[in-house]
Structure 1
Amino acid sequence: MTTTTHLQSIAVRVADQDRARDFYVDVLGCTLRTDAEFWPGARWVEVVPPGSAVGIVLLTEAGGMPLGLRLGTADADDAHARLAAAGVDVDDVLRLEVAPPMFTLRDPDGNPLVLIEDPATGS
């Protein structure tokens, strides 16, 4: 079984999420996919370029969410168990009302990656 299914999004650091959202939507022509508060102080703003399925997540440092790649997976719990069994450094699976199950892992160089369960295929 494959652990990852697709590239979901790439997260970048921004100073002002409203200003960045307006730039990507109004100037570059992206579509707003998500604008939600995951927990107090952690706002997730995601835009999608025209013709792309891969989102750009606009995060502030204050929100505490990791930058980098977010990869899709068919089953977050299964992927988490398999990666942990393989000795990968993984955090607990997060279960939030506003998002599918997800967890952060680190590659051998310590770079954070997030695996997000695809709601269309997840358990």
Structure 2
Amino acid sequence: MAPPGSRARLALNPSMGGGKPGGSGIGVETPDVLGEHKRLSSIGGIDLDPEPMHTPGAPLLFMLRDPDGNHIAVVEEPPTPA
């Protein structure tokens, strides 16, 4: 769901933790995945993937996890249509 004219979107999904706390997921988009990974890595103490990954058919992304077991995907923004 997204407010009209907004770039913010929200998808509601069932918990991945089988009813236990944590295990949820959220995704955020950024135009600079590499820069964001470098920034978070320099902070230290954050459970994040060692490097961003790019798989065929998917945007550049990396995952981080909070202390409750929730997953956050940091994903490259899609290109703006011309």
Q: Where on the TM-score scale, by shorter chain, does this alignment land: which range?
A: 0.5 to 0.7
More strand by share: 1
Alignment check: 8 A CA contact 2:62 2:75 kept? yes
More helix by share: 1
Number of aligned positions between the proteins: 65
| 2:57 equivalent to 1:98 | yes
Percent identity for Structure 1 against Structure 2: 34
Aligned with 1:89 (options 47, 56, 59):
47
1:59-101 CA-partner distances (Å, limit 9, x unpaired): xxxxxxx751111111111111100111122113110110110
Q: CA deviation at 1:110?
A: 3.7
Unaligned segments of structure 1, at least 5 residues: 1-5, 14-65
Equivalent positions of 1:50-65 (< 5 A) are none
Q: Are the structure 2 counterparts of residues 7 and 71 from structure 1 closer, same or farther at C-alpha, using a change threshold of 3 Å?
A: farther
Regions of 4+ moved over 4 Å: 6-9
Unaligned segments of structure 2, at least 5 residues: 1-6, 15-22
Alignment check: 8 A CA contact 1:7 1:72 kept? no
TM-score, normalised with respect to structure 1: 0.43
Structure-1 residue corresponding to 2:71: 112
Q: Are the structure 2 counterparts of residues 106 and 7 from structure 1 closer, same or farther at C-alpha, using a change threshold of 3 Å?
A: farther
Alignment check: 8 A CA contact 1:9 1:70 kept? no
TM-score, normalised with respect to structure 2: 0.61
